[in-house]
């Protein structure tokens, strides 16, 4: 009987020790902290990638805006096409930006508008020749 009592005491002490270890606040936080850091790191990385994309676009706009006095009509059409493509990509991403980046985005768009106005003032109204091949084929088939 004494042996059974000792086994029960040792078993109870082990169970209590295991329970206390499992309930310790420091036991499970390592994994949780790592998960939080991973999520925060992914968000920071996504934010940094979006910021790099915007900064590249801003540099592109600034560089091309400086050419307002020398750009040809063909170059301007190519630039405007590229600008519209990049602007639409960034416009989709802009919902996730902070306020400072959004303000800079508006300034970049204003800089481009000033560039367009200067070029059109110098060269006249330059319209893109946008041929819709599908519409032409459809008209010919009718």
Extents of the domains making up the chain: 45-128
Query: Which structure tokens are listed for 87?
Result: 């602007």
Name residue, tokens 């190519």.
78
Cβ neighbours around 79 below 10 Å, total: 20
The three-point CA angle 120-126-131 to 5° equals 160
Nearest to 112 by CA among 140, 83, 70: 83
pTM of the predicted model, to two decimals? 0.58
pLDDT tens for the 142 residues of the chain, in order: 677 766 677 666 666 667 666 666 665 555 555 655 565 666 577 778 878 888 999 999 999 999 888 999 999 999 999 999 999 998 888 888 888 888 999 999 999 999 999 999 888 877 754 444 444 555 555 5
Q: Show Cβ contacts of residue 75 under 8 Å, excluding neighbours closer than 6 positions.
A: 67
């Amino acid at each position: 009987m004494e042996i059974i009592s000792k086994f029960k005491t040792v078993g109870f002490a082990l169970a209590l020790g295991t329970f206390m270890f499992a309930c310790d606040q420091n036991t499970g936080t390592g994994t949780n902290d790592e998960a939080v850091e991973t999520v925060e790191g992914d968000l920071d990385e996504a934010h940094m990638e979006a910021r790099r994309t915007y900064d590249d676009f801003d540099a592109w706009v600034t560089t091309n805006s400086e050419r307002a006095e020398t750009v040809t009509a063909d170059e301007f059409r190519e630039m405007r096409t590229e600008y519209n493509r990049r602007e639409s990509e960034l416009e989709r991403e802009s919902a996730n930006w902070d306020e400072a980046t959004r303000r800079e985005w508006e300034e970049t768009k204003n800089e481009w508008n000033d560039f367009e106005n200067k070029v059109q003032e110098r060269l006249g109204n330059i319209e893109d020749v946008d041929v819709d091949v599908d519409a032409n084929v459809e008209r010919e088939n009718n």
